[in-house]
Chains A and B, each alone.
Chain A
Amino acid sequence: MSIKLGILGGGLGVIVLGGAVVYNAGAVRVSVQEKTPDGEHFRLVLPAAVVPVALRFIPEEKLRDASVKLRPWLPAIKIASEELARCPDGPLVLVDGPDEKVSIAKLGGSLVIDVDSSAESVHVSFPLKTLASAAEELAAKAPPQ
């Protein structure tokens, strides 16, 4: 009985710890709202911890192509995301034009991008740590120079 309880307790502990890791990693959120009478609303919430795993499902060739194209910028992307994560929350970029409004801000460890036009509203947010780890994954996929 005590062995079974021990196994059950251990299993629960792993689930709780795993959940804590996923929770602390944040989430990638995407929302697209079309501004037509029958406009669709697309929503995606993906735990950020899943993103590095999800990258492994992308065909190797496509990933290699992307990493080759991004190679010169990957170190800068990684450093920028780490440094942004350290900065206080606040607005970074705002472009407010007659047709479209774009804002990029740092909020609670995430980068938040909002695009609002007459056709649709798009919201994307992702933890900055996700960007850094994705950049590392892509850098690892790039063939040696």
Chain B
Amino acid sequence: MRRIMPGLMTLFLGTAVALAAPADRWLHVQVDETGKNGERVRVNLPLELAEKVLPAIHTGKLRDGKVKVSEAKIDEVDLRALLDAVRTTKDNEFVTVESNHENVRVAKAGGHLLIKVREGKDKANTVDVSIPFPVIEALLSGGKDELDILAAVRALSAVGDTVLVTVKDESSNVRIWVDSKNTME
């Protein structure tokens, strides 16, 4: 029994570690164009691939996983202070715009920043964006004039399965989501 116990413990711990290891996370993009000649596009990207590749890209405004953005666009509003204020408040609706042409709603719910747009005839064209706050924080964690894409990808890897963007209009349906499956649907 004494000889068997260390072997059993090793097997048990090894199994526990293997089960606890996070599964690969995948970013999926699905675009379906409507109409007779519509095109169908599917993209599956392992997030770890993006994490490893982004720091190796140094071209244009993208360097070391960060994108330079116009200082003027970010300096007009203190995005970090605004984000912190939104993050610490209770779930709430912050902006609502209703007009003949479109309805826009910006809200916080369940740890996500939600943006919903309804426009067009019968408000049939829809845009739904749901970004987990850790991802937004990571995106803004770089310098004042840059977006840290790499940090945002890492944060995205850590959140659960989530649908990030859904767009439906007369010509196409678009869906972007994250999960642990390497399939296209």
**Chain A interface residues (CB < 8 Å from chain B):** 72-73, 75-76, 78-80, 82-84, 87-88, 90-98
Do B40 and A96 have beta carbons less than 8 Å apart?
Answer: yes
**In whole angstroms, how far apart are the Cα atoms of A48 and B184 in the complex?**
29
B182 to chain A, nearest CB (A): 4
Q: How far, in angstroms, from A94 to B45 measured CA to CA in the complex?
A: 12
Kindly list the 10 A-B residue pairs having the minimum CB-CB distance in the complex, ordered from nearest: A90-B182, A97-B39, A75-B56, A94-B42, A98-B37, A96-B40, A76-B56, A83-B49, A72-B59, A83-B52
**Chain B nearest Cβ from A129, distance in angstroms:** 16
- Residues on the A chain within 8 Å of B93, using CB: none
Residue B158 CB within 8 A of the other chain: no
| B39 and A80 form a contact (CB under 8 A) | no
Chain B residues whose C-beta falls within 8 Å of the C-beta of A98 in the assembled complex: 36-39
Give chain B nearest CB distance to A96 CB in angstroms.
Answer: 4
Q: Which residue of B lies closest to A95 (CB)?
A: B41
24 A/B residue pairs, CB under 8 Å, sorted by A: A72-B57, A75-B56, A76-B56, A76-B57, A80-B52, A80-B53, A83-B49, A83-B52, A87-B24, A87-B46, A87-B49, A87-B182, A88-B24, A88-B182, A90-B182, A90-B183, A91-B44, A91-B183, A91-B184, A92-B44, A93-B43, A94-B42, A94-B184, A95-B41
* B49 engages A84 (CB within 8 Å): yes
Cβ < 8 Å to A, chain B residues 71-113? none
**Interface contact A80-B58, CB-CB below 8 Å:** no
Decide yes or no whether B48 CB sits under 8 A from chain A. yes
A76 surroundings in chain B (CB, below 8 A): 53, 56-57
* Minimum C-beta distance from A70 to chain B (A): 11
A94 and B46 form a contact (CB under 8 A) = no
Which A residues lie within 8 Å of B45 (CB)? 92
Nearest Cβ in chain B — how far from A23, in angstroms?
27
- Measured between C-beta atoms, what is the minimum distance from A106 to chain B in Å? 9
In the complex, how many angstroms separate the beta carbon of A87 from the nearest chain B beta carbon?
Answer: 5
Other 14 A-B pairs with CB < 8 A, given A73-B59, A76-B56: A80-B53, A83-B49, A84-B46, A87-B24, A88-B24, A91-B183, A92-B43, A92-B44, A94-B40, A94-B43, A95-B42, A96-B41, A98-B36, A98-B37
